[in-house]
Amino acid sequence: MVLGGITSQNIQDELKDFTDNSDVDEATKLLQKAIEIAVNNGKNSFSYVWGITKRWYNSGIFTIEALEAEEKSEPLAKDMEIQLKKKSLKTGATVQDE
């Protein structure tokens, strides 16, 4: 696959942004992971990859270890949110009331 000049520059810029907060190896692994996620979701545009990496960057995720920790905590956070909603439905209270 041949990358165009703009895409190649975008990849370099993305790697630099992440490298400023970790190292080249971690930045490369994160970019590879974002591409893997895009492919697994049937997305073939780099804008989808940039959306993933932008969320990670804004969330302070600069290493694979940090990404894995977030992925492990997401199901727990979602489960807690579901439990709170169920509780509020039973009691008639809203989450803000608690």
Query: How far is the C-alpha of 90 from the C-alpha of 92, rounded, in Å?
Result: 6
Query: How far is the C-alpha of 26 from the C-alpha of 32, rounded, in Å?
Result: 10
The pLDDT, as a whole number, for residue 1 is: 46
- Longest Cα separation, the chain: 59
Mean pLDDT computed over every residue of the chain: 78
pTM: 0.65
The 10 Å Cβ neighbour count of residue 33 is 17
Query: How far is the C-alpha of 21 from the C-alpha of 63, rounded, in Å?
Result: 9
pLDDT tens per residue across span 14-60: 888 888 888 889 999 999 999 999 999 999 888 888 899 999 999 99
Query: How far is the C-alpha of 3 from the C-alpha of 33, rounded, in Å?
Result: 18
pLDDT tens per residue across span 66-86: 999 988 877 655 555 666 666
